[in-house]
Amino acid sequence: MPTDISAELRKLVTERANHRCEYCLLPEKASLHKHEPDHIVPRQHGGESAEANLALSCLRCNRYKGPNIGSYDPETGELTPFFNPRQQSWSEHFKFDGAEILALTAVARVTLKILRINDDSRIREREQLQKAGLFD
């Protein structure tokens, strides 16, 4: 993928996130693939490759998010933007129940749904990592 993100900016994004996906919290060290900078507002929607619009994302969260900016809340049907790690607090929107990530808000519901954060295979992976002490 062509990128206009410098090595320096990539490093800042990675360290600011403490080497974890800012959506599903997967630690980079527990991932087969390197995490990548995600455009919170995708370039197609005018998002810039700037600190304030970048979040560290695991490969799966980033691929499923794609060029989307939100979805329809499965509970209310309202068009709702995704969780924004630069403007919102993870723990105000999500919480863990074992290896499953629960939604506390509409923002979290659409993020979990479209990024497929609770797919069976991903829950099983988190369970294994938690047992191994690699996901706390």
- Determine the interface stretch with Zn ion among 2-10, 20-28, 45-53, 127-135 (rule: CB under 5 A): 20-28
Binding mask 41-80 for Zn ion (x = CB under 5 A): -----------------x--x-------------------
Of 85, 79, 7, nearest in space to 39 by CA: 85
Would you count residue 21 as binding Zn ion (CB under 5 A)? yes
Least distance between Zn ion and beta carbon 77 (Å):
26
Q: Is the dihedral of CA 92, 54, 127, 60 positive or negative?
A: positive
State phi, psi for 57 to the nearest 5 degrees: -135, 145
Piece in contact with Zn ion (CB under 5 A), picked from 23-31, 82-90, 94-102, 124-132: 23-31
DSSP tag of 100: E
Radius of gyration of the chain (CA): 14
Residues that bind Zn ion (CB under 5 A): 21, 23-24, 26, 58, 61
